[in-house]
Amino acid sequence: MKICIYGAGAIGGYLGVQLARAGADVSLIARGAHLAAMRERGLTLLAGEETHTVHPRCTDDPAELGVQDYIIITLKAHSITGVIEKMQPLLGPHTRIVTAVNGIPYWYFYKHGGQYENSTLESIDPGGRQWREIGAERAIGCIVYPATEIEAPGVIRHVYGNNFPLGEPSGEITSDVQRLADLFVAAGLKAPVLDRIRDEIWLKLWGNVCFNPISALTHATLDVICTDPSTRALSRAIMVETQGIAETFGVKFRVDVERRIEGARKVGAHKTSMLQDLERGRPMEIDPLVTVVQEMGRLTGVPTPALDSVLAMVTQRARIAGLYDGVSAPTDPRALAVA
């Protein structure tokens, strides 16, 4: 079983170490100082009191690797369109694409059923290129719950969590998704195979759609956003709008709004990924986390006044800083940064 991790940053590097330790034939695609360090010294994972170093194949040229059984995409979601052509040598007739990214994935409406079946979303897949050129039929959904960070080039620190729920767009438990789940479990990860993967996608997005842009606007950590009356109320308003959109697509939420906010509050003084990107001068994931929800609201006719206001402000802030990840943004080499 040949596995390529496309974007071996914090999450991709964590997966790479764990899968390599489990004996998987894993290759990592990275770039820059991180790639140079992995080639020279291997990839090191710091997990609690334990340190593990592995020496997988590492490259910035996918053509060196050949056809893969699974490609696990751990890039920032807005980076995927920019690597479609480079990804082609990895694709064979049976290759599966595992979307371990934040937000709504490009394949969302594949085998969805109903009037939106096979629709594409311009905010996350401009022109439907990912759908056509990577292939919606290849997709396996994956939600990323662990928190990790690159401590130094070639060194990943695991902060918490090991849960990577998986699921076919159709809801079937296929041999492909089961094989991958079994490998994840052998690597010490949790990988439940879900028959309603979209429910889990929205559950995570439910927090990202409000907490991320609010944090980028206020520089507040999760505990502050969830306890300050004004930002908590704004978060709730955006979440209620988001829930209304998701439920029109048949999504079921297994917790209510207040419980979801409380769960975020308990995480503590954590900076969201959008705030971290802003502080580090990296393009922010506005479209995959926020604009796409607005677009889906337009599709369903669900009004989103709170989301619209916050989206307008965070987009303008990102444009001023030169960090907008939108489809109309000029090409920026930083847009290909790994997660």
The catalytic residue positions are 204
Residue type, 203: L
Residue with tokens 């079937």: 172
CA atoms within 13 A on the CB side of 274: 33
Q: Is the distance from CB of 126 to CB of 13 less than 8 angstroms? A: no
C-alpha distances in Å from residue 161, one per residue of 56, 116, 132, 310, 330: 23, 34, 34, 29, 36
In 3D, which of 99, 167, 56, 106 has the Cα closest to residue 295? 106
**How many C-beta atoms surround the C-beta of residue 34 within 10 A?**
23
Distance, in Å, from the CA atom of 83 to the CA atom of 30, rounded to the nearest integer, reads: 12
Distance, in Å, from the CA atom of 61 to the CA atom of 81, rounded to the nearest integer, reads: 16
What is the phi/psi pair of residue 154, to 5°?
A: 80, 5
